[in-house]
Structure 1
Amino acid sequence: MTSDFASTGLDDCSREVTSAIRAVAHQRISLSPEIIDRMVERFCEYGLAQPSVAAPPLEELTKREREVLALIGEGMLIDEIAENLYIGVSTVRTHLHRIRRKLDLKDRSQLVAYAYPTGLVSVRQVASAVPLSFGRR
């Protein structure tokens, strides 16, 4: 039983490391769920800075693009989004590319930051979906 747990943990860890390496190799940023949790905490504590120029409205996005953006905001990885929406990983990447282009956003952290004030994701949703760790940071 211990070996099953250990191998499952290693598989998950290996996937995360592989995903992060691929992201960096493609000049993208890879954020772990823990970092996204910290960002959410900071946003809740200090609020978001108001952009000097109005952000493009969500109406520019398709329903599926809004779903993908919401899942990114919840901290899901590309593989997890693909599995959750029953679509391919390359399709998720295509949606993310189109979302960034339409909203003029550069990376995953900007997507996450955009998802919260639009109401696509709420702190309550993320808190109920992701267990919070109370250990030292």
Structure 2
Amino acid sequence: MLDDSDRRLLRQLQADPAQPVTELARAAGLALATTYKRLERLEAQGILRGQRMTIHWPALGYAVEVSLRITLDKTNPRAFDEFLAAARDVPEVIEIQTFLGRVDARLAVIARSMSHYQEIYRDRILSLPHIADIEALMHVASVKNQQTLPL
């Protein structure tokens, strides 16, 4: 599926996704036209799905991050769909993951302060449908947040 040239391109993109294609081609040891063709192919195959900027939330005043593990009351067959639709509408929920097992979902919630988080929790989170149990985990530090693969 991937050859050595593709892997070199992907390694370079993981290291610096914003680099100009001319630098990417040089670093990967490929001609510029070849690099463009390979990038187009990797996008068409769904391997590359665009570039993203990461927002540093504390720089915008969001000093609190809480991870909520949610167990749903699954007696309603639409519990998952209704919960997820409502959770998407909470602006301070920056990530939603679903799981198989005792925990059904995890929400990453950001807030400006603990009192702001308490307001979000009481007014928005507790009003989400079909919640049977919530466990809150206060984020203290990111020890590793790497989304690169050894290619």
TM range (shorter): 0.3 to 0.5
**If the length of structure 1 is used for normalisation, what is the TM-score?**
0.34
**If the length of structure 2 is used for normalisation, what is the TM-score?**
0.31
In proportion to residue count, which structure has more strand? 2
In proportion to residue count, which structure has more helix? 1
